[in-house]
Amino acid sequence: MAVDLLLGLQWGDEGKGKIVDVLTANYNIIARFQGGPNAGHTLEFDGIKHVLHTIPSGIFHKDAINLVGNGVVIDPVIFKKELDNLKKFDLDYKSKLLISRKAHIILPTHRLLDAASETAKGKAKIGSTLKGIGPTYMDKTGRNGLRIGDLEMNDWKEKYRNLANKHESMISHYGVDIQYSLKELEREFFEAVEVLKSLTFIDSEEYLHRAQNDKKTILAEGAQGSLLDIDFGTYPFVTSSNTTAAGACTGLGIAPNQISEVFGIFKAYTTRVGSGPFPTELFDEDGKRMAKIGNEFGATTGRPRRCGWLDLVALKYAVQVNGVTQLMMMKGDVLSGFDTLKVCVGYKYKGEEISHLPYNIEEDNLTPIYKELKGWKEDLTKMSEEAQFPKAFKEYIAFIEEEMQVPIKIVSVGPDRKQTIMR
């Protein structure tokens, strides 16, 4: 059985958690393939709002198996907190949560390294979540990281000590003053590791291979967004993993020819958390209004999100890179009440008009070219079918479909799983 992918097409925070939650009923296995606790997937149902960071978004569905893949980096302390938060839901998570032995572990000293590195950069900082993600992936590619499977070995504490000592030496080289008690951090870390060891560790690529042979349906869940991809994003203001479709292959051990549908999720406008270029960013009342109505604060960091008009150039780029087969538009309801909507359809780049994403999208080199569309006044949050949509909203959807040449199959008109309209 082929594997379907679900990816964010912007700078993250597109609403992936909600859509995974909606789609989970169709799948036997939900698998996270990259990123770590820098992700924040918000689920809202039955009047309850819940944020997941590392655990896949299918955990609230009774029959779904949830797999944390080899491409994910895991902080045992945050993972334990996530498990603790699930206890109030009376879930039997031990029977439906599996972790790849090849997933790398975030050490307390990884977080300290992250803080030291970001502090040392001063004004040039990239807006890290300070979760230790970057340093962990650096150790992974440097071939000296600690992995989940190591916890089953007798010498894992020795491996831990050697790596932590190396990190402390590196921290001292940054020459910045970060206050910490490693002993206290380690106490919390070792406690959390014991909880982690009570879960089921698996050879995930073999598990998924067998699942495919057994005709199980599998949904691979991405974290962050395509424009944060280490190779294809707005470097250096990116994450440390491949957030695009290619990352699902390396982050789960799935062959490229086994990928079927690629679901691409985007907001009806654009947001970004942290530093980095953002061609359509708004600094006026329109931007403030989007932020307020859309409740635009990072699910992981709590930082306010920067808001701007929909950028179709960047969206088309993400659709191409990922091979998106179906689009899903989130937060259309936030745009209700604007008389006129703007959509970026091209850039003026170094004096010429272009329609693709160039190497550098800093504002010094680039100006967005906008097309104006009519807005709508109606409140979309109470609507339950497409026939109720106002004419201008239908035209907005049709325009995006025409530009992307990919159908929009789901339109979200509110945060609750019920406010999801299939087309």
Which residues have a catalytic role annotated?
A: 13, 41
Long-range pairs of 297-304 with CB within 8 A, sequence gap ≥ 24: 298/13, 298/40, 298/273, 299/13, 299/40, 299/41, 299/42, 299/51, 300/37, 300/38, 300/39, 300/40, 300/51, 300/53, 300/129, 300/131, 301/40, 301/129, 301/273, 303/273, 303/274
> In one letter, which amino acid is 252?
L
Angle at 6 (CA atoms; ends 361, 52), nearest 5 degrees: 95
Per the omega criterion (within 30 degrees of 0), is the bond before 236 cis? yes
CB 231 within 8 A of CB 13: no
Q: How many CB atoms lie within 10 A of CB 363?
A: 11
- In the three-class reduction of DSSP (H, G, I as helix; E, B as strand; rest coil), residue 213 is classed as helix
For 105-152, give the DSSP string: E--HHHHHHHHHHHHHHGGG------SSHHHHHHHHHTT---BGGGGG
Distance CA 226, CA 243 (A): 5
Distance CA 366, CA 369 (A): 10
CB 13 within 8 A of CB 265: no
Structure tokens at 207: 């598990």
Distance CA 126, CA 129 (A): 9
Angle at 103 (CA atoms; ends 101, 104), nearest 5 degrees: 120
Q: Which helix (H) or strand (E) holds 382?
A: none
CB 74 within 8 A of CB 36: yes
CB 66 within 8 A of CB 97: yes
Q: Across-strand partners of 4?
A: 219
Residues 6+ apart with CB under 8 A from 356: 313, 316, 317
